[in-house]
């Protein structure tokens, strides 16, 4: 009987330890990004990461006369699928325009709700937190 209790406790400890990284990896929008620092990024997709808990678009954006590599956070793949995306929606070299919110720490990282293409087509990145912030900012205009 004692062996079963110890085995169950050990299993619970292993499961708990395995989920700690996931809990710390996920964050709130306000912790990492500043809704008072909107920015527009225009450039070419370098890489599109179809990963959980958030997708990432890496772009070379032209800013202040030079090219900077930016990482733009989007929604989870499941949210993107519901909006018509797939892992091949943004191949490298695609020109995009991103309205985003800058990282609080000044890093070249941002969170965005939508991207546009030069032809005017728009796609939602499926990040509900950023979409809510963008909606609130639009109401204030």
- Share above pLDDT 70 across residues of the chain, in percent, rounded to a whole number: 70
Give pLDDT, residue 124.
80
Among 18-22, 63-67, 79-83, 88-92, the range scoring the smallest mean pLDDT is 18-22
Question: What is the pTM (predicted TM-score) of this model?
Answer: 0.70
User: Which token pair is 120?
Assistant: 């005017």
Which single residue is written with the structure tokens 């963008």? 134
Which single residue is written with the structure tokens 């890093």? 107
What is the separation, in whole angstroms, between the first and last Cα of the chain?
Answer: 66
Alpha helices for 1-141 (secondary structure H): 2-25, 29-32, 77-82, 128-139
Return the closest-CA partner of residue 56 out of 76, 78, 35, 85.
76
On the question of pLDDT at 93 being above 90, the answer is: yes
Q: Can you tell me the mean pLDDT for 102-112?
A: 93
* CATH fold for the domain made of 29-139: OB fold (Dihydrolipoamide Acetyltransferase, E2P) (2.40.50)
Torsion of CA 43, 46, 52, 54, to 10 degrees: -10
Give pLDDT, residue 10.
44
On the question of pLDDT at 15 being above 70, the answer is: no
pLDDT tier for residue 98 given thresholds of 50, 70 and 90: very high
Mean pLDDT of the chain: 79
């Amino acid at each position: 009987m004692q062996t079963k209790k110890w085995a169950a406790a050990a299993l619970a400890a292993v499961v708990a330890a395995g989920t700690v990284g996931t809990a710390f990896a996920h964050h709130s929008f306000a912790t990492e990004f500043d809704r008072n620092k909107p920015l527009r990024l225009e450039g070419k997709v370098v890489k599109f990461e179809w990963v959980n808990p958030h997708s990432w678009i890496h772009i070379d954006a032209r800013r202040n006369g030079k090219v900077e590599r930016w990482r733009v956070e989007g929604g989870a793949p499941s949210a993107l699928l519901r909006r018509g995306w797939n892992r091949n929606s943004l191949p490298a070299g695609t020109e995009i325009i991103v309205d985003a919110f800058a990282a609080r720490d000044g890093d070249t990282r941002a969170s965005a709700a939508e991207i546009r293409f030069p032809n005017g087509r728009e796609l939602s990145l499926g990040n509900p937190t950023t979409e809510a912030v963008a909606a609130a900012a639009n109401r204030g205009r």
